[in-house]
Copies of this chain bind each other. A is one copy, B any other.
Amino acid sequence: MDKAVFFDIDDTLLDTSSFAELARRAAIATMIENGLPLKKNEAYDLLKEIVREKGSNYDKHFNSLTKHVFGEENNLLIALGMITYHNVKFALLRPFPKTADILIYLKSKGYRLGVISNGLTIKQWEKLIRLNLHHFFDEIITSEEVGFEKPNKAIFEEALDKMNCKAEKSIMVGNKYEVDVVGAIDAGMSAILVNSTIPEEEKQKIKDNNLDVKAVPTVGDLDKIL
């Protein structure tokens, strides 16, 4: 049976947080120019707080922002914010520098590739398609589609099932320890953390339980261990 590598998308294959921040700052600037009575940093912090509270897949962040400020929604500012956010987001959307190289490398080493992502199915497909990365993946599994979010092991099991792969021959690559690594280990897979560090208190647990968890700086360093 085949060996497989599954990837998280946001902040693993693509620099999502960085383009989302720039897109939100651009949206805020336009809204302020058109009458939002806040300072830039103040408005940005408020928006970030709303995104944190409602989740990034909620589609009415700007509605909440104007309602918070004016006591009612302001359609002009909401629409201006959304147009600017989407324009900037798609202008900036890029994979990390070595993402494509590494996917090609893994293919050449005989790995089957998949995606396991918490998010809305078509939004996640859209990112991969716009960057022409979807061709690399045999299966793209989203939490919306499966009905379970990482770290729930059910989403990993569904992915393994769809790929017809065994957990013990499969690796999850992601940037969130509690989400990507914990869930994958729970499902019997091994895991590689990128763009983040293993929490100190987890290191002993990994050693004691002899868990197959590694960390590399970025997805571009996977060729050093795979």
Contact = CB atoms under 8 A, between A and B. Distances in A.
A83 B126 contact: yes
A78 B80 CA distance: 27
A125 interface: yes
- Name the interface size band of chain A: 10 to 19
Contacts of A130: 83
A91 interface: no
Copies of this chain in its oligomeric complex: 2
A74 to B, nearest CB: 10
Contacts of A134: 76
Contact of A78 (B82, B83, B125, B140): B125
Interface in A61-91: 75-76, 78-80, 82-83
Interface of A: 75-76, 78-80, 82-83, 121-122, 125-126, 129-130, 134, 140, 145
The 3 closest A-B pairs by CB, nearest first: A79-B125, A79-B126, A75-B125
